Amino acid sequence: MIQPGLAVQQAMKAALAASPALTSLLGGAHVYDEVPRGATAPHVLFTAIETRDWSVADQKAHESFVTLEVASKSRSRAQVQAIIQAIETALDGAAPALSGHALTNLRCVFISAARQKSADTFSAQMRFRAATEPL
């Protein structure tokens, strides 16, 4: 069976790639596990997945925390904020099908947007919490 955090990431990636609002803002389905050479911002990158046992006495369960990084090419906060909103709309409370697991809930639990001093552009981090049970 596929690990629950990976199942969540795959479902999230598919949901983001299927979001017309997000793909319009990114100029395509620029949602990556690893940024391809030569790719430019804006894009979304999966940076971390942390999975914890969340079982009770008679039921196996997990909670996974998935961190996304949003890269912007704009010197204005507006682009990164619009991308954050599109991601949150596509994922928060969504119920994408998972491979080998049932999704109990998916929620955005953290957002941080900041200016990148080295590039003078904005980026953001978002963290989602997914509760899952094996099928």
The structure's pTM equals 0.94
Q: Residue with structure tokens 């940076």?
A: 47
Amino acid 1: pLDDT: 77
Residues contacting 73, CB < 8 A, separation 6+: 40, 41, 42, 79, 121
Q: How many residues does the chain have?
A: 135
The pLDDT tens digits of the residues spanning 45-91 come to 999 999 999 998 888 999 999 999 999 999 889 999 999 999 999 99
The pLDDT tens digits of the residues spanning 112-134 come to 999 988 778 999 999 999 999 99
CATH fold, domain 4-27+42-134, is STM4215-like (3.30.2000)
Average pLDDT, the chain: 95
Domain spans of the chain, in order of start: 4-27+42-134
Q: Are 75 and 121 in contact (CB under 8 A)?
A: yes
Q: Are 47 and 68 in contact (CB under 8 A)?
A: yes
Q: Are 125 and 32 in contact (CB under 8 A)?
A: no
